[in-house]
Structure 1
Amino acid sequence: MSATKSSPNSSSDTASLTVYLRLLRYVKPHWLSFLISVIGFVIYSASQPAMAQYMEYLLNFIESENRGPLWMPSLIIIGIIAVRGFGGFLGNFFIAKVSYRIVDTLRVQLFSHMVYLPGEYFERNDSGQLMSLVTFNVNNVTTASTEALKTMIREGTTVIALLGYLFYKDWVLTLLMMAVVPVIAALVGYVGKRLRRLSTKVQHSMGDITQVTSEMINGYRVMRSFGGEEYEKQRFTEASWRNYLQNLKIVLTSTLNTPLIQILVALAMGSLLWVALGQMQIQDSGAFVAYFLAVGMVLKPMRQLSEMVPVIQKGVAAADSIFQVLDEKPEEDNGDYAPERVRGKVSVRNLHFSYQGSEREALRGIDLEVEPGKVVALVGKSGSGKSTLVNLLTRFYSGFSGDITVDDTDIRKFQLQNLRSQIALVTQQVVLFNDSVAANIAYGALHKTAAEDIQRAAKLAYADEFIEQLAQGYDTFIGEGGAKLSGGQRQRLAIARAILKDAPILILDEATSALDNESERYIQQALDTVSRGRTTFVIAHRLSTIEKADLIVVLEDGCIVEQGTHAELMAKQGHYARLHSATQSDSLTL
């Protein structure tokens, strides 16, 4: 039983050390600046025993009959302080330079890695927690790598220099003083373990705060429509209170740590002074004062080193959470097939797929053949697998069994970026950025598109009429998520983006759901034009919009239950006919 109890602590210590050493490996590219900072701190530390020795010299100078020139003590103290200041500047500036470069590298590396993580990762992690990683957790790493590293080097070298001086003055007495060090080390170790656990809880609670805030800001219309103000306030208050309690535990632990260490050191000093008065081999008063001045001087850096334990533990906990993300495997991309442009033939054979953590298959035994340039409509109740199917075509999810091919080539053999360049996607949830209208249409790989082509795409999407009425036209910034535009206007920009991409495969996932009837009619005409010569997958609840499709595929519970043209399926009077009748009834009711 004892072995099992002790192993978690030892493994925790090992993990903390491993994480911190991994963090410090980021210093390697900046070794020259780091070396200069160490040299600066060594110079700074050497000035500390020099100051104690100066006090011995000054007392002896005052008591001596043959003093020498009176300007000498002033010159020496000026020299010591100047050297100390110069060393401190070198150490502080260059270690800060290294530390902030580490944090910048870590932040960019984290964000860049998250860009390539699979969709499943974002679905199993809260957006607030992920945002907290890039902001709050990285700031904690900043503190650990800047303040903690600086203090460890500066105060550590100071302690070594002063202890060397004390051993030189009286090694027996200094050994007696060192007897208290193991007790201090044990206390610091216990506090460090507790603080790391608390720091991890603080990070989680901070993620909860970010999550609640993000949801309130993004969903403020729903909140106000349904009277959710008090509910959101309560959620935020509870999340903030949990964060307050965890921070208070950290403060309580760290603030108790310092006075306990000071009491231990004071007891050691009192005992030392008592022994020194009777046993010390140092005879003259100058040497006696210098020795105890050095003892007093060593207390401050020792205390500051002990205070770095909570800072380091917070940084280690933050770095650990960041490294966990960096250790996540990116999207699988082992393909090397990269055609310039595919024809658009899509084949699905015996496709099975389950979401992570779900025992139920989202798709079961799907077989589908789509010829180039054909329009395929996917219909069915919510949860039938329509969006899942097109998401697998774009490889937003992996881990399916069976085959999906484009132009008779397995999509897993495509380079991932090349495969997605062949597909234009318009979804019900429009994603826009706080940038200009033109930049939102010509997004990503399209950003170098000529202004005339952007305007042509907007015109085909019937977006030019409202864009020209904006204050700066195509240069107008539309706010976060396109907040300054209506739902229909946002959707038309998304369709213009897909038109501009000019991909051989087009996916329209409820693309006209946010439009009014008049806009939908215009967009439908545009989509009819755009889909010519392209393999088009259309997901729509309004079945009237897909009656002209070349092939209508009816899904139910992850299976294809019917497929054919509108006329063929209506003649069967099966699943599609019932769905069509139901939607017609709904539209009449509306």
Structure 2
Amino acid sequence: MSGPRAMMAASAERSMDFKGSGKRLLRQLAPDRRLLWVMLAAAVLSVGLSAVGPWVLGKATDLVFAGVVGRETAESGATKGEVVSGLRADGDDGLADMLSGVAFTPGEGIDFTAVGQVLLIALVLFLLSGLLALVASRCSIKVINRAMSRMREDVQAKLERLPLSYFDRAKRGEVLSRVTNDIDNVSQTLQQTMGQLINSLLTIVGVLAMMFWISPLLALVALVTVPLSVVVAARIGKRSQPHFVQQWKSTGKLNAHVEEMYSGHALVKVFGRQEESAREFAEQNDALYEAGFRAQFHSGVMQPVMFFLSNLNYVLVAVVGGLRVASGSLSIGDVQAFIQYSRQFSMPLSQVASMANLVQSGVASAERVFELLDAEEQAPDARPAEVRTAVDGAARPAGRVALEKVSFRYEPDRPLIEELSLRVEPGQTVAIVGPTGAGKTTLVNLLMRFYEVTGGRITLDGVDAAALPRDELRSGIGMVLQDTWLFGGTIAENIAYGAAREVTRDEIEEAARAAHADRFVRTLPKGYDTVIDDEGTGVSAGEKQLITIARAFLSDPVILVLDEATSSVDTRTEVLIQKAMAKLAEGRTSFVIAHRLSTIRDADVILVMENGSIVEQGTHGELLAAGGAYAGLYSAQFAQAVAEVD
């Protein structure tokens, strides 16, 4: 299995690698190790101070309780030992055991000075803990935002290295969903979970240490529910992860459908496909709903289950702690601190469990981003020293192009072009015609190295095109496609996009006049400063074509490639553009792909392609006289109509 299906199958297989993708996501933070260490140190100190706080408050409770007991036993005039012995003599052993663990002095009330000092210490501890938590949070935010910035840069660089074949297979909405929605989801997941997760894990360790220090027995009691919590979290997480993967896959498919229907909304209405489009949207929306519901439901079960286990832990600690106080083994303040620690211990466990759905959703999105980053790239540019010298030695390439036994196939078992040879001299205009699927556009794609030849080679001025850097090769080629492309900005900026250097307004206007675009541009409200969007709203299809042709004029290329460049303009404008193109083509090699044969009658060489091979070659007159395939195409397009235009 090959092609898109194989890619989708591989994607489904990799999408279940939660552990591997999670580790890879964490490695994105590695470049900021120093800041991570600062964050970790601040978090450790913050959690440590916060963990000591309840124990300090427990000491304040002990002071208050001791004061109350001391005041109540003031009338006896006895020492603590005598009071306890008296209680045992009266048969009240339970109360005697409890008071034996209280540091009271009969006759002395509450020492408010000591209580105030303890509370002040607790206040300072909590204040410092909060400040350190703020430092840790700031470091965490900075690390995450830097990592996401690098990830976006990696994705952008990856998109530039991907071959044209990748974008031929992938839907634009799906790619956009990975670049925008999935990266945003990863960013939100890290922002919401990383700092809290580290804080929760450190809190568990710190609180557990304090619990064992106060009472190992109570600590063991508190740990009874931990194995059960771990088992529950693991089972629920394992069941919910596939649903999160499916949720983000469904999101990508829905985005792709919406993007396609929006960009082609006119055709949808023309052919009456609104109901079909709405039905497909409803199906994909329902699929997204089902996947999202299952993912959120399975992960949402975790929090109430963990809350129940937390309450069970609280009850166990309270019961056993009460018995320890009654026996005099622990003070009330220690039990109070322990109950707080029990809550602090259960809370981060619940937080970690509640974050499971966020983490799983984020990792599912990260897997999709990594899948894009792992996509097969185009072969890297080779740059041997001798090629570099040959290219640098010439002041300007002449534009001599040769195809030497070129073969190409999109699929290994389906040949498209076989053993194609062609030589084009500098300044020649080569027209390529033929039925749809004959390989005309493929030939140009090979020249531009959008695809690599599978056999033979293409040379430019005697230098193998495969040995030239793609940017350098393409910088000498001006291309005007049938499908126009504009970006959001002014008309002047769109025309200037074709130049590799800074250009003046005069140069932009000169290029527009050469392309016969100047006239309609000046009729717009702000002329060349008129702002258009990427859909070219406000200008017609033919006017958009003129802007792209002006862009090609400004690029001053060595080789011109015109792929049905005049398909969207009227007949009169087409004639004017042909004259302008003839002027532009002087001294330049030109490749013209045309279905309207009236546009290529003056070409130096006309190639007729069928099934990836050149079946006829010659001038317009020669091919008409031959009465072959070209003559058949020409007669089918009513040659008499061309004569009327002339």
Q: TM-score, normalised by structure 2?
A: 0.85
The residue number in structure 2 matching 1:163 is 208
Q: Aligned equivalents of 2:14 and 2:428: distance in 1?
A: 59
The alpha-carbon deviation at position 417 of structure 1 amounts to 0.8
Give deviations 1:246-275, integer Å, cap 9, x for gaps.
Answer: 111121011111112222333344344444
**Does the 8 Å CA contact 2:491/2:531 hold for their aligned counterparts?**
yes
The residue number in structure 1 matching 2:398 is 343
Give deviations 1:21-42, integer Å, cap 9, x for gaps.
Answer: 2222232332333233223322
Of 359, 362, 383, the residue aligned with 1:315 is: 362
Q: Spell out the pairing of 1:350-499 with structure 2 (5 A cutoff).
A: 350-356=405-411, 359-443=413-497, 446=500, 448-499=502-553
Q: Which amino acid aligns with 2:598?
A: S
Of 231, 242, 245, the residue aligned with 2:290 is: 245
The alpha-carbon deviation at position 363 of structure 1 amounts to 1.4
The 3 A distance-change label for structure 1 pair 459 and 13 is: closer
Of 105, 129, 147, the residue aligned with 2:174 is: 129
Q: Spell out the pairing of 1:169-184 with structure 2 (5 A cutoff).
A: 169-184=214-229
Does residue 325 of the first structure (1) align with residue 372 of the second (2)? Answer: yes
Q: Spell out the pairing of 1:493-572 with structure 2 (5 A cutoff).
A: 493-572=547-626
Q: TM-score, normalised by structure 1?
A: 0.93
SS in 2 for 1:341: coil
Q: Aligned equivalents of 2:171 and 2:596: distance in 1?
A: 32
Q: Spell out the pairing of 1:187-206 with structure 2 (5 A cutoff).
A: 187-206=232-251
Q: Which amino acid aligns with 1:512?
A: T
More displaced 10-residue stretch of structure 1: 510-519 or 236-245: 236-245
**Does the 8 Å CA contact 2:237/2:299 hold for their aligned counterparts?**
no
SS in 1 for 2:404: strand
Structure 2 unaligned blocks of 5 or more: 1-12, 68-108
Q: Aligned equivalents of 1:271 and 1:587: distance in 2?
A: 96
**Does the 8 Å CA contact 1:196/1:316 hold for their aligned counterparts?**
no
Q: Spell out the pairing of 1:69-88 with structure 2 (5 A cutoff).
A: 69=113, 71-88=116-133
Q: How many residues align?
A: 579
The alpha-carbon deviation at position 461 of structure 1 amounts to 0.3
The alpha-carbon deviation at position 585 of structure 1 amounts to 6.8
**Does the 8 Å CA contact 2:222/2:342 hold for their aligned counterparts?**
no
The alpha-carbon deviation at position 313 of structure 1 amounts to 1.7
**Does the 8 Å CA contact 1:195/1:314 hold for their aligned counterparts?**
no
More displaced 10-residue stretch of structure 1: 328-337 or 274-283: 274-283
Q: Aligned equivalents of 1:490 and 1:207: distance in 2?
A: 31
Q: Aligned equivalents of 1:334 and 1:12: distance in 2?
A: 29
Structure 1 unaligned blocks of 5 or more: 1-10
Q: Aligned equivalents of 2:227 and 2:452: distance in 1?
A: 54
The alpha-carbon deviation at position 112 of structure 1 amounts to 2.1
Q: Aligned equivalents of 1:220 and 1:514: distance in 2?
A: 19
Q: Aligned equivalents of 1:231 and 1:586: distance in 2?
A: 43
Of structures 1 and 2, the larger Rg is shown by: 2
Q: Which runs of 4+ in 1 moved over 6 A?
A: 11-14
Q: Spell out the pairing of 1:216-295 with structure 2 (5 A cutoff).
A: 216-278=261-323, 282-295=329-342
More displaced 10-residue stretch of structure 1: 297-306 or 373-382: 297-306
Of 61, 64, 68, the residue aligned with 1:62 is: 64
Give deviations 1:527-557, integer Å, cap 9, x for gaps.
Answer: 1111111111111111111111111100111
The 3 A distance-change label for structure 1 pair 447 and 232 is: farther
Give deviations 1:547-571, integer Å, cap 9, x for gaps.
Answer: 1111110011111111111111111
Q: Aligned equivalents of 2:185 and 2:119: distance in 1?
A: 43
Of 615, 618, 628, the residue aligned with 1:574 is: 628
Q: Aligned equivalents of 2:551 and 2:480: distance in 1?
A: 9
The alpha-carbon deviation at position 398 of structure 1 amounts to 1.7
Q: Which amino acid aligns with 1:545?
A: T
The residue number in structure 1 matching 2:29 is 27
The alpha-carbon deviation at position 582 of structure 1 amounts to 0.7
Identity of aligned residues (%): 31
Q: Aligned equivalents of 2:456 and 2:244: distance in 1?
A: 45
Of 303, 314, 320, the residue aligned with 2:350 is: 303
Give deviations 1:99-136, integer Å, cap 9, x for gaps.
Answer: 11211221122122212211011111111111011111
More displaced 10-residue stretch of structure 1: 173-182 or 368-377: 173-182
Q: Aligned equivalents of 1:481 and 1:543: distance in 2?
A: 29
Q: Aligned equivalents of 1:422 and 1:257: distance in 2?
A: 61
